[in-house]
Amino acid sequence: MENMEIENLGKSIRDIFDEQYKYIIPLYQRNFSWRREQIEQLLQDVFSAFKQNPNGKYYIGSLVVLKRSNGDFEVIDGQQRMTVLSLITKILGINKEPRLFYDSRPEVEEFFKAFYLEDGNRNIDYSQTAHLKNAIEFIKEIELDAENQIGRINEAKEIVKEGVSFYQYFEKNVILVRVEIPQDTDVASYFEIMNNRGAQLQKHEILKSFLLNKIKGKSLDEFAKIWTACSQMDTPIQKLFETEDRRRYFGTNYDEFCFTGLTEVDIKSGGGNQKPLFEILIENNSFVGDAENNSIVDPEENDDETKYKSVIDFPNFLMHIFKVMFPDENIQLNEKYLIETYKAVSAKLDSEEFIKNLFFCRTIFDRYIVKTFTDNNSEDGERWTLRKPRKMNDKWYYVDTFCKNDEEERISDEQSRIVKALSMLQVSFRTRIYKNWLFEILNWFANEKKQITISSNEYIKALDKIILSNYKGLYNDKNEMFTQIIENTNINKDNSYSLGTGTPHFLFNFIDYLYWVDSKNENSIFSHKKELKGFEFKYWNSVEHHMAKEWAKRNNILQFEQFIDNLGNLCLISKNANSRLSDRDVKEKVETFGNGNLGANRQIMYNMTKNDDNTYSWDENKIKAHYNELLELLSKRDEILNNQKE
């Protein structure tokens, strides 16, 4: 390995996929396993680099290969990235023929061959290729500019900065470091060396060491203990402390926030029990209390609602803390800037203040931000939860954050409204980076409320303010983006909002939220109050034409191109449901999916489709009627949202 000859390591995407090269994924390599999160990170990082410096180079990692005797490259390390790049380059049109092949995996080979023949992969339906098929959909639908929620790949490739298009940038400026190992290398030994190297320190671990180094006269042990508890985003924070600390930090009933600062240590006398810094950094995180050693009974271990999944990871959560503490700085809510941000504010950053803000915001996050927990009875196996701890006598457990003291078993109206608002924001802006709505909530608590206890009504008002600001952003401060279609006027693309699949997902979710809130108001404006069934917001990520384009073509619907993409003909559904619905008749759609977990807008469209005589119809007139009602709904948004009990 020391005699490895390395030449011209940096290769552009065009160079990597040049027609002279052929890459083979050997049989011993695992199957493709990247999910949306990894693909999203790759694409958004590249697009961010393009925006910052379209003429610079952007390195996206390494590719380790072994040249076989026939000249083909066997991929030793980097196959996940290579697989995604082979999909992206085909979608962008950079790479028109497959350059990546799989040993002894005929289903995958067949999939790639079909994919390169104008997306013929849609007819390939093997379990071994499901992740590849999903990856293609992710690549096409991911918004490359996560901060502004714009720019899918087919649109973004034509964006030009300083004379360079994103297509050109991806082709020529995105660089892989291709390392060719000698042909006599023992591949098994290579993998052993790689595994024994151990993982490099992550950015948040480096940040922790920087912060610890700045602490003077305070307990490093306590800092590390709180930091590690805060980092475990999928566990309620009260569960991560032993009884004594739990009482000290959260009060006798575990529902307060009592931390005021780190414990002081006597430096002159050697710091008491203060450990050296290097021990703090490498010690095992063994502080989490065991229930058997506590004087109270912990929540049951099988309580699914204390085993939730967070909507954000710890490194990105840390970026929110920086922005909360330094609102005047241009801090990007993306963990890749974590160390860069620390260095920018280091001179005025106090480590004790940072841990205070981190601890407070993490406690707020647990109590006031939705998470998901496993529920096999749900359509996607998950449900939303919003919980807080409660202690009575010698037992403690979790209850709804806005439950009524005497009605713990029945969800309160306020709790339902808040869960709806939060889950609507999360499914609309799902990425872990640039989660601006979460920052606005944390900032509101940390810099305005400055306390952990608030009323349900003031939280609802704060959430609705955030929601309305996102709606206002859709039309860039113009008066409105919609125009009513008057009677006896046909719909056309010029007189209506008709973006089809380009319609922002937030708009659909906002419409569902308004319909739902109106149905719960005593003086509801619209007539759907009785017919609307309860629903949960899900990660519906596919825009469905209720009257399908292909169906309209087959049935010779006149002028359908003028109204097929109209907002009144659209709803948001899951990708799986969209592929199943495809170009079916509206009758089949309603009969097949009408009893599922449907958003309010989709329910109303289905109810309009089913006539009083149990026949089914959906035409331009119904689309116009629904479109005009949507405009009225949106125009009365303030009245609907403010119509709540005080």
Span 136-178, pLDDT tens digits: 989 988 888 877 666 788 888 888 899 999 999 999 999 998 8
CA distance 581 to 603: 16
Range of the domain at 253: 210-472
CA distance 596 to 535: 9
Q: Is 480 within a domain?
A: no
Q: Is 23 within a domain?
A: yes
Q: Domain boundary at 162, 197, 232, which?
A: 197
Instruction: Quote the tokens at residue 174.
Output: 């995105």
Question: Which of these, 313, 260, 630, 308, lies nearest to 482 by C-alpha position?
Answer: 630
Q: Is 286 within a domain?
A: yes
Instruction: Give the confidence band of 280 by pLDDT, cuts at 50, 70, 90.
Output: low
Q: Domain boundary at 143, 164, 197, which?
A: 197
Which one has a higher pLDDT value, 10 or 375? 10
Q: Is 285 within a domain?
A: yes
Residue 337: enclosing H or E segment and its boundaries? none
Which pTM does this prediction carry? Answer: 0.77
CA distance 410 to 406: 9
Residue 463's contacts (CB-CB under 8 Å, 6 or more residues apart) are: 418, 421, 422, 425, 441
Both 190 and 244 in one domain: the answer is no
Span 235-278, pLDDT tens digits: 999 999 999 999 999 999 899 999 999 998 765 555 555 655 54
Residues 140 and 152 sit within 8 Å (Cβ to Cβ): yes
Both 429 and 520 in one domain: the answer is no
Q: Is 604 within a domain?
A: yes
Instruction: Quote the tokens at residue 346.
Output: 């280091």
Instruction: Give the confidence band of 646 by pLDDT, cuts at 50, 70, 90.
Output: very low
Both 516 and 566 in one domain: the answer is yes
Question: Which of these, 180, 195, 176, lies nearest to 4 by C-alpha position?
Answer: 180
pLDDT value of residue 395: 83
Q: Is the pLDDT of residue 43 over 90?
A: yes
Both 356 and 328 in one domain: the answer is yes
Residues 383 and 372 sit within 8 Å (Cβ to Cβ): yes
Q: Is the pLDDT of residue 212 over 50?
A: yes
Both 403 and 284 in one domain: the answer is yes
Both 28 and 128 in one domain: the answer is yes
CA distance 341 to 455: 34
CA distance 302 to 298: 11
CA distance 370 to 382: 12
Buried b (16+ CB within 10 A) or exposed e, 268-289: eeeeeebeeeeebeeeeeebeb
* CA angle at 263 for the pair 260 and 265, rounded to the nearest 5°: 150
At 607 the three-state DSSP class reads: helix
CA distance 273 to 617: 77
CA distance 541 to 557: 27
Q: Domain boundary at 420, 452, 472, which?
A: 472
pLDDT value of residue 184: 75
Q: How far is Cα of residue 198 from the mean position of the Cα atoms in its chain? A: 28
CA distance 372 to 370: 7
Both 123 and 233 in one domain: the answer is no
Both 453 and 516 in one domain: the answer is no
pLDDT value of residue 200: 53
pLDDT value of residue 463: 98
CB atoms under 10 Å from CB of 204, counted, come to: 18
Question: Which of these, 138, 152, 111, lies nearest to 35 by C-alpha position?
Answer: 138
**Which amino acid makes up residue 222?**
E
Residues 112 and 128 sit within 8 Å (Cβ to Cβ): no
**Which amino acid makes up residue 46?**
V
Both 511 and 460 in one domain: the answer is no
Q: Is 495 within a domain?
A: no
**Which amino acid makes up residue 456?**
S
The count of domains in the chain is 3
Q: Is 1 within a domain?
A: no
Question: Which of these, 116, 73, 121, lies nearest to 97 by C-alpha position?
Answer: 116
Bridge partners of residue 571, in order along the sequence: 544
Mean pLDDT on 49-54: 90
Long-range contacts of 92-96 (CB under 8 A, 24+ apart): 92/153, 92/157, 92/167, 92/170, 92/171, 93/167, 94/13, 94/14, 94/17, 94/167, 94/170, 94/171, 95/17
Q: Is the pLDDT of residue 3 over 50?
A: no
Question: Which of these, 289, 326, 328, 313, lies nearest to 362 by C-alpha position?
Answer: 313
Residues in the chain: 646
Residues 493 and 559 sit within 8 Å (Cβ to Cβ): no
Q: Is 520 within a domain?
A: yes
pLDDT value of residue 114: 86
Span 395-413, pLDDT tens digits: 888 999 998 765 555 678 9
Span 357-371, pLDDT tens digits: 999 999 999 999 999
Both 539 and 611 in one domain: the answer is yes
Instruction: Quote the tokens at residue 524.
Output: 């509801």
Both 339 and 459 in one domain: the answer is yes
Both 435 and 539 in one domain: the answer is no
Residues 211 and 226 sit within 8 Å (Cβ to Cβ): no
